[in-house]
Chain A
Amino acid sequence: MSEVIKKATRESYGEALVALAERYENLIVLDADLAAATKTGIFKKAYPDRHYDCGIAEANMMGVAAGLATMGMIPFASSFAMFAAGRAFEIVRNSIGYPHLNVKIGATHAGISVGEDGATHQCCEDIALMRTIPGMVILNPADHVEAKAAVEAAILHDGPVYCRFGRLAVPVFNDPETYRFEIGKGVVLREGMDIAIVATGLMVNEALQAADTLAQEGIHARVINIHTIKPLDTDLITAAAQECGKIVTCEEHSIIGGLGSAVAECVAETCPVPVHRIGVNDQYGYSGPAVELLKAFGLTAAHIVEVVKNAL
């Protein structure tokens, strides 16, 4: 078996912006004094005249992005998820969402895998917040290949897009040669009829590992990667409910308002089946190494296996 390559999706974000800059001349990048961390610093170095730092002022940055979008520019407003979705929520809602402007929000450092910085920077509420904004598309890519593709898909989509990236290096499992990203279309990564594991972001790789372990025990779990939380691929989720009868959702986000909620809301209307939500259980994070935190919060393949077995 070849060595697993790991990469943080925030790096994919910065690299994708650089790679796409020539093709999309209206692409412009905004930062709030975090270019080094959001990895847009790579873009700033390559295209200094297309990068504007707004300083530590996320509210204004979102408004500036809105104004740029009215002029036909495609701004990527970059910050940590906590500040992009949290602090600037109402500006995103009123100045970007309501006028349905073509602003892309690049939100890095999402979830508890921020690690040592602790609870104030570990945003597990951003998907819930962004889901409530009409017309907002929410992308939460699982690995480097998907993250790069998501950035281009965001550019090609006319309207506001929230792109969620992580700080922690995670395994690259998609094949860059064959991978195709389509907004709103989930990806079935493993076929199975015993149960459906619906995962997003860095939990997709954990779900794949969990499915492999379960398969060794004769349990065949369907694994679905939901990279687009909104609009949700309701056809794929409904089919999973109908054919598998049980669903486990996995996300590095609060179990309130994120993928688990979205899936539960969907099947409650289309095909009610038990939905077991794996995520952050209505609590704050705390400091520690990212990998240890993921274990402590049950965001691992081992925990998915346990939940699946209990559900069957």
Chain B
Amino acid sequence: MDAVLRKQLQIHACHVRMGILDGVYHAKSGHPGGSLSIADLVTYLYFNRMNVYPDNPDYAGRDRLVLSKGHTAPALYAVLAERGFFPMDELKSLRHIGAMLQGHPCIHIPGVDMSSGSLGQGISAACGMALAGKHRAEDFQVYTILGDGELEEGQVWEAAMFAAHYGLDNLTAIVDNNGLQIDGKITEVCSPEPIPDKFAAFGWQVITMDAHDFDDIDRAFRAVEVVTGQPTVIIQKSVKGKGVSFMENQVGWHGSAPNAEQYQQAMQELQAELKRLEAQA
């Protein structure tokens, strides 16, 4: 990847992480861990992959994204704000009464393509969108992001079967494989592993990538372009809480907000990272 582009994406991702922290801190609740683990992914998608139109968010020919792991709405909202769908300040009213930004994605928010949050359902809606694209021979792409714990929902596999049966090669699912869910490690709660083998057995093209390396993310999505006749799943190896030292790989940060002190520390770390990136000539 071009060095200038890489740095731009890294800076956007840093802003997205700060937006996530802002949202969850001011809401005094929410899901920072899994939001931070997809921050680089959504940054890449909205700034370097998807055809989206912040000034005309409902444009019919746009690419779609369904955040099947809807509890990580702060990441989606932060990247939509960073991309210009609504002001960054909106993030500070996340989860507040009367606010636009609901605790889980709502289709009425500019840039949000589908309401989600009840796990296992987003991938089905994404299948429906992709099916419509095939049915009408339109060439937009559909992306859906799932949690690895979410794969325990049976509906995911109903959808996986459906997508392969109808050859939905305009559908890409990304599994955020951070290895942790609310009750602990996914392998200890009720293991969905081996994840690649399961999707392969369901007829999907399987690609793995490093969730926090834009060069590898770019490689993975370029590989999707040549897949025909079947849906693709990208399994991204990620770090829950990525970018905030004390949140990384800590299951406790799945669904709790930082206090004032923790928020300050997190923002200082991200500010320092931002300065470091901006200092790179």
Contacts and interface: CB of A to CB of B under 8 A. Distances in A.
Interface string B56-99: 00001000101000000000000000000000000000000000
Interface string A87-101: 000110011001100
B155 A73 contact: no
B124 A95 contact: yes
B135 interface: yes
Interface stretch (A52-60, A207-215, A231-239): A52-60
Given A60-B159, A73-B132, A94-B118, 6 more contacts: A55-B158, A60-B162, A63-B125, A72-B60, A95-B114, A99-B107
B114 A99 contact: yes
B127 A95 contact: no
B115 A71 contact: no
Interface in A30-57: 50, 52, 54-55, 57
B155 A63 contact: yes
Interface in B103-162: 106-108, 113-118, 120-133, 135-136, 154-155, 158-159, 161-162
Contact of B115 (A59, A61, A73, A95): A95
A59 B154 CA distance: 9
Instruction: Name B's interface SS.
Output: helix
Nearest to A95: B121
B124 A91 contact: yes
Contacts of B159: 60, 63-64
Interface string A158-173: 0000000000000000
Interface of B: 60, 64, 66, 106-108, 113-118, 120-133, 135-136, 154-155, 158-159, 161-162, 165-166
A57 B155 CA distance: 8
A65 B124 CA distance: 8
A193 to B, nearest CB: 48
A52 B162 CA distance: 10
24 contacts: A28-B135, A54-B158, A55-B161, A57-B162, A60-B155, A60-B162, A61-B124, A62-B124, A63-B127, A64-B127, A67-B127, A68-B128, A70-B128, A70-B129, A71-B129, A72-B60, A73-B132, A75-B128, A94-B118, A95-B114, A95-B121, A99-B107, A99-B108, A99-B114
A67 B117 contact: no
B107 to A, nearest CB: 4
B141 to A, nearest CB: 13
Interface string A101-145: 000000000000000000000000000000000000000000000
A69 interface: yes
Nearest to B134: A52
Contacts of B106: 98-99
